[in-house]
Structure 1
Amino acid sequence: MPVTPEVRIQGQWATTDVGYNVELRIPLNMVGSKLGFAIADVNDSKYRDMVAVVGTSALDTVDNLGTVLVPSPEIESIIKGMSHNSSRIWVVDKHGRVLAKSGDIRANDSVWTRTLEDEKSTTLWETFKRDYLHPLYYKILTKPPKDFIDSLQDSTELDGSHIQKALAGQQGSTWRLTPDNKAVVLTAASPIWIDNNVMGAVVAEETTHGIRSLRNRALEKLFNVILTIMSMGTLALFFFASSISNRIRKLRDEAENAIDSQGRVRNNLKPSKARDEIGDLSRSFSSIVGRLGQYTHYLENMSSRLSHELRTPVAVVRSSLEHLNLQTLDNDTQKYVDRAQEGVSRLSMILNNMSEATRLEQSLIQADITKFPLSQVVSGCMQGYQMTYPEQRFSVKVPEQPLMMQGVPEYIAQLMDKLIANAIEFCHQDSAIEVTLTQVGKQATLLISNLGPELPVDMSEQIFDSMVSVRINQVQDKPHLGLGLYIARLVAEFHQGQILARNRSEHNGVDILVTLPLS
């Protein structure tokens, strides 16, 4: 039977850089379920001996031929209807070869993404979150990458534990990382049953990008709630702390204003009616300041009371001693009488010193204020001291300007008496007392400096208090009650001035600085 050409089978040979490609077009009705190709390598063109045969499968029997794989349009249409935009569905046969594919796992328009886009708005709050909060949140959170490598994009055969499990008749699932480690792909496989036989499997794949986006959105909302609660809590604590600090500051100011720098109680504290701890503290302070005011009032008036009460018995003792002196006494008796008279004289001097401050405080209230030259008063006082204390050297620097001021010149002279007497008492022998009067702006500054022992620590202000003295406890010719500098402070404050004591910069003496306002 003659051989006739088969025109229904067409082929194409294409040479490539690495070899060749052979394409054949055969009608499906000419091909069964088995098909194989073999290529014979013939190098001898004369005898046509075959050197080798390369085939797609064994060609000895029909069962060893390869299987014909034909795409099914019906399967393609079914899986296209089942797929999502961000998922991919494969249909494989029982050998794992791909029959159909639909979808792309790298698509960005998934259901999750569309859900998040639908929630976007252009409100002020959304703009604030997008511009300020999200950059802060995403220092902790991670955004899903927009692109990654899909190694199975053009695969024609799939394999894996989940597919093997599905081909065995059970459902299986697994996950894998993309080669660039940017995405996690979840895969699920389910068997296809035909007449109780597994003929293939359906494989569905999808990335976790959508779930991560929803997770980030949930964490964003959680962070917003936490930030709102923390802000409200911080604001509430700020107002609460401010209220407490304002009350404490007010209580501190009232306590400072109640007692002046000399420790005298000037004002009473108004007790708070609040029922909390600060209210209890305010009421305690008010009670303490009240009791302290009563006690300081008693101390301030004690010297005047003592001087008043002691004058009568001192006068009785003095008159009794005078009557004894009128009688004839032996030497031993006369010695004791003389010692008693000396003690009475010292006691009288103490009483006079104690009453001097009280008389000065009372006279200051009724004093007549005049305008006088301060320079002349200081110069006149210093001339008198040079005559009174000829053994003491003085260094006097008084300006020629009169330095007019408002006040009582007699009280300024009394202030000078107390300060010079104090400087002479503490001054080293053969050292000069420096008296300097200068004008600084609208104020006059009087500086009295002497070489001698320094002031003890923390005594620069206390030495101007009543009944305070820093003299060494020893036998003294005159009684000292610590009233001299107290009287000087009264005079300075009466003239709206200030007085302070400080150690010299050379640490070899003390400076007394008096500041008085000029008219």
Structure 2
Amino acid sequence: MKQYSFRLRIGRGPLVIICIILLMIFVLGYRYFQEMKLLHLQVQTEAQLLSTQAIAKVLHERSDLFFYSSELDNEWIEKSSLNVFHLPSAIDLNGQNNDWNIADSFSHRYSEDSALYAQDSSYSQPLAFDLLLGERAETIYGFVKVEDSKLIFRDPIKYRRLDNSDHIRLIIKKNGLPQRYVLVAAQPGEMTAFEVHEDWRHTVTGQPEYQIKAFLEPLEEGYSVEFQLPYAWVGFEHRLVVMVADVDDSYLRHVKTVIGTLPEQWSGELNQLIILSYPLQKILAGLERLESTRICVVDRHRRVRTATPSITQTVNICDKNYERSEQLISAALAGKSQVMTYQRKNKQGEINTVIASAEPVFLKEDIIGAVLLEKDSQDILTHQRKTIDHLVYATIVIFFGIVLFILRLSFRILRLSNELNSAINSEGRLVKTDIQSEKNAQDDLGDLSRGASDLLVRLSRYTHFLETIPRTLRHEILNPVNAISLGLQQLDSSPEKVAEIVKKTKRSILQLELIVSRLTEAAHIEEALATDTMVKIDLVSLLSEYVENIQQLHSTVRFQFSQPKGTAFINGNDLRFVQLLDKIKDNAINHTRDEGCIDIALTREAGLIYVTISNDGPLVSGTVLKALFTGIIPSHKSTIETPHLGIGLYIAYHIIQSHQGRIAVTNRHDNSGVIVTLTIPEV
């Protein structure tokens, strides 16, 4: 039991070592991927800065792309510009902007500081509005979200003036002249547009302007208006003013407050519409297909000139209220390349590493704009996460696979060990030679099982050889010993027969010497074969000469040799092969009936040489056939002159084994005798 426990501890050690190695591989792999992540981020940062610089290079000296106008005051341009975003899909006028696909953060808010008129000379009304402009299919769209404590609709029956209700005012520079339009609503839904005089009270033509369409939607804290007008109306200079007029008194219906997109000191001017540059959009068209990449181009007045479509969907570097955007633009407009890395949550709430870069655009020595490029490292992190997941899964699978393999291997080894231990009993006797455990396995353990079985078979033969020696020797040695004892007795009783008695005693002593010689030869055959030198010999020539010699030696026995044509070479020892033939020949002579014949033949087939020695005589039983090569098999024809111990075939078996061949003994098909077949590889 102690030995069994010790074996289990030995088996557990390699398992622990393998587990530690796998854990170390996992930790090293994780650290490797962390280092690779940092390297990828560094490489991507450098590549992104180079990409930004390349885009800026393309835009150098292209003042036409930036709508550059040197005659306008910088402060006025900065405060008056209205961005017009491209709308990716068709717009349904319903007073809502959910089909615009533009984030609310891109709308511009106007409140107290943009008041153009207040009835009591002090702005105290909670009036403000957010404005968002877009363009699509030669049409300008506007979305106005008004914060108003009280919504007053127009009553066209009682009041003919157009300024006696809450309304939207538009000023458009058409054909070089400003034209004024009022959008009014008598109820929620579609609004009516009229061209009005400068006092905003009465219509110019008396007819609605049907090319301007609008829709009003009441809200809890005010209302929203969605309108559209022809793109051509804004003119080549792209000018437009939007105002919101508030009426709170439903009886007097006086305008209380007017808020516009231009402050009062610039009331005679119109806002500059900043419409995305289509040439720039085409230049960046190829980059729009880059996943998780956002590009924004601004002019020196920080106006957005173009942006990839994804720019308008989340907080990004084009947003004026975005702190990092301000830092990037300020650095670029100061003539410096800028790159920064920071963390930000995406729509799914995951934290991504974002790389943002900015590069100035030059017109000769002047800076006319900046290129901003922002890219998420989501692809790197996703790839890293997937790789780590695969590493974890692979490690777990490999770990359990190795554990199962070790457990199965331990079970197989333990089963084989138990069966090998049971092959020999406590007294040292061999009780089993055929090991069944892992016998058919095609791996090293199977080879070990089959090798152990072969070893036990050979050990069984040798054990059988040792076990049969006492029985056989008792019978064989008693014959000459009895003869010597009888001769000694006859000397006492018949002194006159001394010569004859001495002759019989000498013959018995010679027989004892022959038995000892054959036993010695069998005991040391393997050691003798190990020292033999193997050379290339012609078996046809050797057999022909051998048959000729034994025919002269045994003149009373008829030998017949079927000699083939040509030669048949083997790798062997000629003297040892003759010894092999002698053992088989002696056995054949001993069992050949009177006037019988011993046939010797040599054939070749598929790289093998077959030597058959067949004799006429009694058959060999199946029991004896199985034990022919195991050692001593006494023969019933054993005589005092020639003892037959059965050692000859045992020696023949070992000789043919040393020649990489096989020996087989079978009965003839016609039951007329026995055939011994030698199989040797041809060289």
Give TM-score scaled by structure 2 length. Answer: 0.31
